[in-house]
Structure 1
Amino acid sequence: MEKPNASLIEPIGEVNLHTPKWNFNYGFKKLQFLLESFFIKKGFLLLIVGFLLGRALILAKLTPFSLPFFAAVYFIKKDRAPLALIGLVTGAATLSLGNAAFTFIVTFLFLFIYRISQKWLNNEMRALPFFVGIILGLSKLAEAFILSRAITLYDVMMVGVQASLAFILTMIFLQSIPLLTANKRRQLLKTEEIVCLIIMLASIMTGTIGWKVYDLSLEHVLSRYLVLVFSFIAGATVGSTVGVVTGLIFSLASVSSFYHMSLLAFSGVLGGLLKEGKKIGVSVGLFIATLLIGMYGEGGGSLLLTIYETAAAICLFLLTPQSLTSRLAKYIPGTPEHMAEQQKYMRKMRDVTAQRVSQFSNVFHALSKSFSQTDAFPVENEDEREMDYFMSHVTEKTCQTCFKKEQCWAKNFSTTYACMEEIIHEMDQNDGNISLRMSREWEKLCSRPKKVYETIAQELTFYQANIKLKKKVHESRKLVADQLLGVSEVMNNFAKEIQRERENYYKQEEQIMEAMQGFGIHIEQVEIYSLEPGNVDIEMSVPFCNGHGECEKLIAPMLSDILGETIVVRLEECATYSNGFCHVVFRSSKAYTVDTGVAHAAKDGGLVSGDSHSTIELGLGKMALAISDGMGNGERAHYESDETLKLLQKILQSGIEEKIAIKSVNSILSLRTTDEIFSTLDLAMIDLKNASAKFLKIGSTPSFIKRGKKVIKIQASNLPMGILQDFEVDVVDEQLKAGDLLIMMSDGVFEGPKHVENYDLWMKRKILELETDDPQEVADLILEDVIRSKSEIIDDDMTVMVAKIRHNTPKWATIPVQKMKRQA
């Protein structure tokens, strides 16, 4: 089919070549819309179905379909019940007028009883089948008594069968009628709904028994057509089910149709198996089944007639529009159309979720910007206005009632204003005191100097409190702005992660399975979620290995060779029995790994140290090493330092950038208490992909990197956390290498040695003298040297954290796979 906009790129003279096709498509869609509106929206499809069910028979004499169908339509679509009743009565009239009269009477009897008892029903849907079965059974008993004036055991048995069928059919119609009345259906069909739909369609087709077109039985043509459609849509399983159910219904309706059940079931299986050949393959399956099963018929004439009926069904099937079968396939689980519809729905839900998260991110960003902009434009001449307000308050209480007011403020305004302004500044800066010179000058001008001094001192208290309050508000606003900006960035990144669609790696999965099987390893299932370099994510189901470690020793090395990067086992869930399968998760290994060692001691050998340390594993292959030193010693200092690290860990793990995280922790600590309790922070962020490191030092001592015979000092100048709220965090970047030793310490270790003038040189010398590169041994030796230099007196809390950077070499070497190209 050509694209609708193809005419836009064609020459003007050729536009008419595409116009008829466009008109045909438009006309077909319009016709389809009109048919759907007429049959489904207006309910005339129920009229046709009612007509066929009204004349449908079971065992050549039972009519259990009419009342269940009407009751289900009345319960689901009450406004369409009259159409259904007209169809049922008309269909019953084609059998006999007595059937039509009985259908009409039993329907009104049902309406009368059901409407009266409806007020006492708690669950109408559950009670409806019982009402239908009982009412139809009693009505049939009454009919048998009126006609024969006696009720035999055979009559009772037939009434019981018909009432039971009515009970079952009511439940079936309640499940299947919504499929005929809903113009747009979103949910997929459940297994029960599929079976109920098949039973209802087969029941409808029993109404065509006896109809013939050129000696071709219409029920045979329609039943085979139904099997063809479902075999083509859903495969052999559903096709054979449709064949068996349809054949069974026809066998109950007419004993002569019993052998057709075998034909329909066999054709459903063959058609489903040949569905890869599209419509032609399914048609061939039906034709082969007809030849094989038809040979057991009643002779050559019967076989030829059966072939003609099959040919008619195949013609109808080939003429069925692709759009109709594709539309029905969307609602049947397991079909490609259903999977595509589900993926489309999931993509839509993913996009909606990502859009909502992005909108929240924009809201937080706007709020952050709003909080920041209030301080970006300071008020002009704000200091002068504050001074004017201050003087107005002072003069209101002093000069307003003075007899020299006119002389001071009317004749000598500039002199008086300047002199009072200088007095205010001096008292503000000197804790309420003024110089002797200023005092003499003011006493020459003012007749109430002492009153003015007292008033200024009193107003200064309120002025200073107001300044502090404004500063607190400004700092709090800055904290909120930074945190809102961090949350906005995290949510924006999360929205981008949501929009990343899982790619299909069917080809790569088959290649990996083929390579493993070629090596002699049986793999049950392979699922690839990501092949992004450095972020490979593969899950496998492998046979029970009885603890031999095949995943780590064989599969992971083979995957490493196939993908061109180191793959390790991240998670392994072993089977609980010998014939089961283990679930294994393989992930990319990071290029570097970090081994750490820590040594610490409390003041005077106590149990509680004011220092705290932490090793934080973050996402995206990063590791954070942190030391925090609370001011002082003991439990309070330990609480402050530990709380600092806990807050930092939670904020960093949420994905907020390091500088914003530290500023947030600092602001929280400074706003949380009015006590002068501070804490330092020494943070190292190491990227395990390339060994790059960021150092953020807040009031902490220098760190050192030992690289062979060289010692590198890492230092930054920032005040401890909690002293100032608004401060800039200095970040020091350093590229680490494999074999480097990173040594971080608290001030109790760095400034611990006695009789040492230059702590840097002393510490560098001690680090160079180390003969081991084991992190724990290095930490122990440094702490021991510091304690020995102080005559084994511990007068401050001490903490040393050492990290060694090394290449992440897998335990098992890669196994080359010759038959497969690398995927990297």
Structure 2
Amino acid sequence: MIYKNDIMTYKRSQKDLKPETERLKLFTLQHMLLYISVFFAARVFMLRSMSPFGIAFFTAVFGVLEKKVAFITGLIAIAGYLSSYHGYHTAAQIGVGAILMIMMFAFNGKNRVYKMSALAFISNLTLNIILGMKFDPDGVVLYDIIVMILESVIIVASSYIFTYAVPLYFQNKKRKILSKEELVCLSLIFAMIISGMPKIEYNGLSLGNMIALFLVLASGYTEGPTVGAASGAILGILSSISDFTMPVSLGIYAFCGLISGIFKHMGKFITAFSFILAGTLLSFYTAELFNIETIYLDTLIPALLFVVIPQSKYERLVLLIDGDKRSIELQKSYIERVKDVMGLKLAGISNTLSGLSEILEEKIDNELARKAEINGLVEKLADKVCAQCDSRDLCWKRELYYTYDSFVELLRLLERSGRITTSELPESLRRKCIRPNELIKQANHIFEIFKINNRWKKKLINSKVIVADQIRGISNLINSMMEEAATSMEFKNDIEEEIAVALDRKGLEFDDVLAIKNPRNKYEVTIYRCPCSGQQVCTKDFVNVISKTLGVRMIRDKSNCKISNDASLCQFRLVEAENYNVVTSVSKMAKENISGDSYSCVNLGEGRYMLALSDGMGSGAAASIESNATITLLEKFMEAGFERNTAIKAINSVLVLRSSEESFATIDMGLIDLYSGIGEFIKIGSGPTFIKSGMEVDVIKSTSLPVGILDEVDIESQIVEFKNGDMIVMVTDGVVDANDELKDKWIVKALKEFDSGNPKDVADYIINRAKSYYGDRIKDDMTVMVSKIWKVI
């Protein structure tokens, strides 16, 4: 019995706690905020006879939440009406609230909010007419009836509007996006709370005034001068609804909102200071209505609170309430998702290509393969010579290891000298072999075939290496594209708007504007418009307007106009102009009819300029083929975006493979950044490069072998920072060797002596001096390429 009573007591205590828990759920923080809002909403009194928002709030809560919460809300609304008593008007609102609280237990179903709103409309209109006729000394006139109908309509409309706002009090998660309806509801609730707040003042400071000023400052800072002034005007009007002595606050709030929006780009501190100054200065014009010190403090305290709040909170607020900026962020998010998806696909392709490259590069020339080759040669040689020999049993059975080592020694001598005679036969074979002449003959023949096969095998391995390098280069190019996609494509929506306004102001027609910043932090602007039928308005009109808007010099890129298939839309792109220009001139002189030197000077785009000079082996047509192939491949690789090491290694492999005979070509390449004026020079077996700056001449030399000689190429590079007016002089070996004693020193001396800013004159001068050193007989092809760099002003 004791245990039974204890258990029953435990159950009773649980039942007693359950109602207590339910009561606590009605007074959570969210519920308290809702009750406070209802209380202040009921206090709002408009046009001397209307206070519809308390009843409307109660009706909305009844339509959305539980009846218990609605009942408490009704009591809070009645308390709000009692706290600001306005005669029989308040009595009518209290009566309407009481009727609705009684009748709400009879309404069920999904449409109960509409039923309750209809009942509120009828009850409010009826009670106001009855009480007005009884207690109003002037009676009820047509104006009063119109106001009563208007109030009843506001109750119904506000009830529907508040059904969007009430659920926001009970959101457990932080909202990232609010609908337009929710924004309107929240704005209306904030306005009602401020308007319904009592005059909480201390030494002239008004709490409601400071809250309103803070909202004005925050809206101007986040949304700009237009929204700041508009929010100031709205809050000023709301202040005037409850206090008819403060209509001038409309101008103060609007002006402060305008100023805070104008200075928003200068940071929070400057914005807050400008806000305080605007409020203080404007108070001088209203000194009779306001205390200047009070206005100063009313603006100072909200400004201090504004500065203390972290910047991240304002940024989140902007995305929450600004539809345009939110759509921009959603667009960026969508672009990032697309980039992520494409990045995964490209990463998969890159990894596959990288794996394929590693497989192709696997070394097959290991120790076991070497031993297998030796065994194969020994077996072939023994089969050719010893198969029909009478002493084969003695050599390959009784003395197997001795004979094998002797044959290996014979192959070692062949590898060292290439071909041997009978007198060079190893001592071990000379003493015991009965067919020495046949052995030497077959050994030379087999080893010659082995060398030929080995040469082709080496070419096959080199072809695998070049394919592996090409595939790795493509993989690296894909990776660089992924990195550019991740860091580039910085869309400038604010810049697009400025450009659109500037073009429209000038009367230039366009359909759309796209502005981005590329990976080098340079502007690129794409314009979409109807075709101009060859009038070139893109360079005549658009360039000037966009350059002035962006504050940088823009130029039309070199690509042609892209016109749609139906010729209804033209697309052209403007890019940020380079800070440096390069002009190049070349002078050549051939030993034979055809020069073996080739050159290139090309703008690779994105502010990169390439200078390239190649000298093929020897002279004439054969050398021209080698150097021209080198320059052609170099141009194609660099224009395609390949990394320069990959391009040079691929060219080296091509030259090694393309002919069974020895062939090579030098590479002298300069890459100039036209934005920064910094150049990189890569030299592979080439002659020296001369940098003339004023009267000073610097020399860049090479110690590496030309491409096409070795399987691996040694790449040397040097960085140079150019000044305005500097000259780059690149020459082939034929020019340097014109004076065997001085070599490159005579070119340095000639550049210092000849003072000309024209690249063509300098190139002709150097080539003529070289010709004078050779006399009547030129020993090698000569090419001089001179480039001048100057800064665009």
User: Which TM-score band (shorter chain)?
Assistant: 0.5 to 0.7
Deviation string 1:514-544 (CA, Å, 9 cap, x unpaired) is: 9x79xx9789897542287751334689999
Q: How does 1:136-175 map to 2 (within 5 A)?
A: none
The answer for the alignment partner of 2:613 in structure 1 is 627
Q: How does 1:119-518 map to 2 (within 5 A)?
A: 315-316=159-160, 319=163, 344-372=333-361, 374-375=362-363, 379-380=366-367, 382-413=369-400, 415-434=402-421, 436=423, 438=425, 442-500=429-487, 502-503=489-490, 505-507=492-494
Q: 1:349, 1:548 → 2: CA distance?
A: 33
Change beyond 3 A, Cα 1:397–1:785: closer
Q: Does 1:593 align with 2:571?
A: no
The answer for the alignment partner of 1:569 in structure 2 is 555
Q: 1:448, 1:643 → 2: CA distance?
A: 52
Deviation string 1:80-121 (CA, Å, 9 cap, x unpaired) is: xxxxxxxxxxxxxxxxxxxxxxxxxxxxxxxxxxxxxxxxxx
* Larger RCO, structure (CA 8 Å, separation 6 or more): 1
Q: 1:404, 1:601 → 2: CA distance?
A: 69
| One-letter amino acid of the structure 2 residue matched with residue 359 of structure 1 | G
Deviation at 1:617? 1.8
The answer for the alignment partner of 1:809 in structure 2 is 792
Deviation at 1:393? 2.4
Change beyond 3 A, Cα 1:527–1:436: closer
| One-letter amino acid of the structure 1 residue matched with residue 743 of structure 2 | Y
The answer for the alignment partner of 1:726 in structure 2 is 712
SS at match of 1:701: coil
Aligned length: 501
Q: 2:181, 2:150 → 1: CA distance?
A: 30
Deviation at 1:492? 0.8
SS at match of 1:784: helix
Q: 2:674, 2:26 → 1: CA distance?
A: 62
Q: 2:380, 2:627 → 1: CA distance?
A: 46
Change beyond 3 A, Cα 1:611–1:495: same
The answer for the alignment partner of 1:774 in structure 2 is 758
SS at match of 2:367: coil
SS at match of 2:380: helix
Q: 1:722, 1:19 → 2: CA distance?
A: 87
Q: 1:508, 1:547 → 2: CA distance?
A: 18
Alpha carbons 1:534, 1:590 under 8 Å: kept: no
**Farther off after superposition, 661-670 or 522-531:** 522-531
Q: Does 1:693 align with 2:676?
A: no
The answer for the alignment partner of 1:764 in structure 2 is 748
Identity across the alignment (%): 28
Q: 2:699 aligns with which of 704, 713, 737?
A: 713
Q: 1:688, 1:790 → 2: CA distance?
A: 38
Q: 1:797, 1:540 → 2: CA distance?
A: 49
Change beyond 3 A, Cα 1:664–1:305: same
Deviation string 1:383-409 (CA, Å, 9 cap, x unpaired) is: 344322321222233334434334434
SS at match of 1:773: coil
| One-letter amino acid of the structure 2 residue matched with residue 809 of structure 1 | V
Q: 1:597, 1:780 → 2: CA distance?
A: 9
Change beyond 3 A, Cα 1:635–1:440: closer
TM-score (normalizing by structure 1): 0.52
Q: How does 1:97-108 map to 2 (within 5 A)?
A: none
Deviation string 1:264-318 (CA, Å, 9 cap, x unpaired) is: xxxxxxxxxxxxxxxxxxxxxxxxxxxxxxxxxxxx9999999978975774465
Deviation at 1:326? 8.2
Structure 2 stretches lacking a partner, 5+ long: 1-20, 32-106, 116-143, 169-176, 183-322, 562-568
Q: 1:466, 1:409 → 2: CA distance?
A: 28
Deviation at 1:633? 4.4
Q: 1:504, 1:683 → 2: CA distance?
A: 35
TM-score (normalizing by structure 2): 0.53
Q: How does 1:15-94 map to 2 (within 5 A)?
A: none
Q: Does 1:797 align with 2:781?
A: yes
| One-letter amino acid of the structure 1 residue matched with residue 751 of structure 2 | I
Deviation at 1:363? 1.4
| One-letter amino acid of the structure 1 residue matched with residue 598 of structure 2 | S
Alpha carbons 2:602, 2:609 under 8 Å: kept: yes
SS at match of 1:652: helix
Alpha carbons 2:488, 2:517 under 8 Å: kept: no
SS at match of 2:425: helix
Alpha carbons 1:354, 1:495 under 8 Å: kept: yes
Q: 1:715, 1:23 → 2: CA distance?
A: 78
SS at match of 2:744: helix
SS at match of 2:666: strand
Alpha carbons 2:707, 2:713 under 8 Å: kept: no
Q: 1:802, 1:750 → 2: CA distance?
A: 15
Q: 1:343, 1:553 → 2: CA distance?
A: 29
The answer for the alignment partner of 1:784 in structure 2 is 768
Alpha carbons 1:681, 1:699 under 8 Å: kept: yes
Q: 1:399, 1:490 → 2: CA distance?
A: 58
The answer for the alignment partner of 1:121 in structure 2 is none
The answer for the alignment partner of 1:556 in structure 2 is 547
Alpha carbons 2:420, 2:444 under 8 Å: kept: no
The answer for the alignment partner of 2:204 in structure 1 is none
Q: 2:159, 2:473 → 1: CA distance?
A: 66
The answer for the alignment partner of 1:683 in structure 2 is 669
Deviation string 1:708-757 (CA, Å, 9 cap, x unpaired) is: 3333222213333333333332334444444332111123322235xx43
Alpha carbons 2:697, 2:748 under 8 Å: kept: yes
| One-letter amino acid of the structure 2 residue matched with residue 671 of structure 1 | L
| One-letter amino acid of the structure 2 residue matched with residue 597 of structure 1 | S
Q: 1:673, 1:325 → 2: CA distance?
A: 72
Q: 1:554, 1:400 → 2: CA distance?
A: 92
Deviation at 1:626? 0.7
The answer for the alignment partner of 2:627 in structure 1 is 641
Q: 1:802, 1:433 → 2: CA distance?
A: 54
Alpha carbons 1:513, 1:523 under 8 Å: kept: no
Alpha carbons 1:598, 1:799 under 8 Å: kept: yes
The answer for the alignment partner of 1:671 in structure 2 is 657
Change beyond 3 A, Cα 1:22–1:454: farther
Q: How big is the alpha-carbon RMSD for the aligned residues of Structure 1 and Structure 2?
A: 5.0
Alpha carbons 1:698, 1:721 under 8 Å: kept: yes
Q: 1:736, 1:336 → 2: CA distance?
A: 44
Deviation at 1:770? 1.2
Deviation at 1:483? 1.6
Alpha carbons 2:539, 2:556 under 8 Å: kept: no
Q: 2:624, 2:698 → 1: CA distance?
A: 30
| One-letter amino acid of the structure 2 residue matched with residue 404 of structure 1 | S
Deviation at 1:356? 0.8
Change beyond 3 A, Cα 1:557–1:774: farther
Deviation at 1:651? 0.8
Q: 1:19, 1:422 → 2: CA distance?
A: 103
